A and B are shown apart, each in its own frame.
Chain A
Amino acid sequence: MFLTMLSCPRCGTGNLKEGRSLSMHLTRYCSGPSLLFHAQRGTLAKKRSHELMLSGSCPSTYQQQIRNFNSLMVDVSVPTINTLHGMPSLSHLSSTQSELGNCNVHYSGFDTDLSTPASVDDQINTNDYSVTDPVIEKCSFQRNTICLPPDIAFQVHLLSQMNTHRGNDLNMFNEVI
């Protein structure tokens, strides 16, 4: 029985038997150009090599990630006003004057600056006390102080409803909204 010995058509090396050994070489060991040879070089250059992923392309160490997580700074850079808010909605246009008067949603009040003390409770903490006076600590949660815009309120309600169904995968939150 005679077997034909072939060299690899891609890399030109090897003395391979026809059939399985050639296909094994092509799929596993061949270093020659593959079908991606015809792809654009820019596309290939954007891909990370395995060494890059292992060596230091990770943005931060564990300690840095923990430090970033624990930092109290919350920089919310999301736009709170839709560019379309200047245009009255269809429901607004179709509402009567009395219905609009009963509406409890105020867009203008949503962006009020909460950094300045506005309530009596906040002023208590800023006053000077004598040594013996106890400092009464209160929860910082601002209950019923902000009228959310309807689109934000809708999303909060949706998340709340989804949260009541215990069988839901928590990853669904990220997919729906």
Chain B
Amino acid sequence: MDYTTLQILSRKQLVQLLTKYYQLNFLKPTLHSVPLTDGSVATVPIFDVKALLIAFLNDPLRMRQENFASNYDIFTGKAKLPTSTLDEIHTGSLWEQARQKYCGDDPDAFPLALVCFYDKTNTDVFGSLSCAPFICTPSFLNKDCCNDDSNYMVLGYIPNLGYGKGKAKKQTAEMKLQDEHNCLSLITNQIIKIHEEGGFWTEVMG
């Protein structure tokens, strides 16, 4: 590396540059204002679920046979060979019922179940700077890949709704839960919309 001609960009400039040239705008979240029951407003960053799913399904580095669950055909959602062993998600007793309900025998239907995870995480030692990421990963991945955070898709971050409210009970437990679910509905409504529209067309491992 010849440092005499090194052009140093700031981090923001570098990210903007790469975003433009690699067309990564779909990774940018949108900020939504959610009114809370105590009259305040929470700002919730939400990602485009459909764009993230398409990016995952079109990624040749992730969509590899060695990343898939063993004995699983990702295009039909069925086991390649009959087995009674319970290990991966598709070997569960409810999987076939769900697959039959949503996909049936449609040759163009791609069964895509999502394993979702949602829990609060702290970003400082005091607990005030915290948020709850809503994470999901496709169920057709094997156990090792499900545990690999490079395969996670973060669909949104729910902020710390209880910050600054103290311990005075101005809100009931139901109101607090409703606030949280109102924020979560920004994410789950996207999944519902995809389902109601009949899914989307994309090319998997083409």
Asked if A pairs with B, the answer is: yes
Question: Taking beta carbons and an 8 Å cutoff, which residues of A are in contact with B?
Answer: 62-63, 66, 69-70, 72, 74, 76, 78-80, 82, 84-85, 87, 89-92, 110, 114, 134-143, 145-146, 149-152, 154-156, 159, 173-174, 177
Closest to B43 in A: A66
Residues of A within 8 A of B41 (CB): 62
Q: 9 smallest A-B Cβ distances: which pairs? A: A89-B2, A139-B58, A134-B201, A82-B7, A139-B55, A140-B23, A78-B13, A66-B31, A76-B16
CB distance from B95 to the nearest CB of A (A): 26
Q: Are A151 and B21 in contact (CB under 8 A)?
A: no
Closest CB in chain A relative to B125 CB, distance in Å = 13
Q: Does B84 make an interface contact (CB < 8 A)? A: no
B57 to chain A, nearest CB (A): 8
Q: Is the CB of B25 within 8 A of A72?
A: yes
- A selection of 14 A-B contacts at a CB cut-off of 8 Å is A62-B33, A66-B33, A78-B17, A80-B17, A135-B201, A136-B201, A137-B50, A138-B58, A140-B23, A140-B26, A145-B22, A154-B6, A177-B10, A177-B14
Closest to B24 in A: A141
Contact, CB under 8 Å: A152 / B17:
yes
User: Is A155 a contact partner of B201 (Cβ separation < 8 A)?
Assistant: no
**B51 surroundings in chain A (CB, below 8 A):** 139
Question: Known: A76-B17, A138-B58, A139-B54. Is A70-B30 also a contact (CB below 8 A)?
Answer: yes
B19 touches A74 (CB 8 A): yes
Q: Using Cβ atoms and an 8 Å threshold, which residues of chain B touch A138?
A: 54, 58, 202-203
Instruction: Tell me if B175 is interfacial: C-beta within 8 Å of chain A.
Output: no
Of A134, A142, A151, the residue contacting B6 (CB under 8 A) is A151
CB-nearest residue of chain A to B123: A170
Q: Is A159 within 8 A of B201, CB to CB?
A: no
Other-chain contact of A177, B1, B11, B30, B58 (Cβ < 8 Å) = B11
Chain B positions within 8 Å of A82 at CB level:
5, 7
Instruction: Flag if A85 contacts B5 (CB, 8 Å).
Output: yes
| Given contacts A146-B21, A156-B14, A177 and B8 within 8 Å (CB-CB) | yes
Q: Of B2, B6, B30, B33, which is within 8 A of A90 by CB? A: B2
Is B200 an interface position by the 8 A CB rule?
yes
Q: Roughly how many angstroms separate A72 CA and B30 CA in the complex, as a whole number?
A: 10
Q: Are A141 and B22 in contact (CB under 8 A)?
A: yes
Smallest CB–CB gap between A112 and chain B, Å?
9
> Which residues of B lie under 8 Å from residue A66 when comparing CB positions?
31, 33, 43
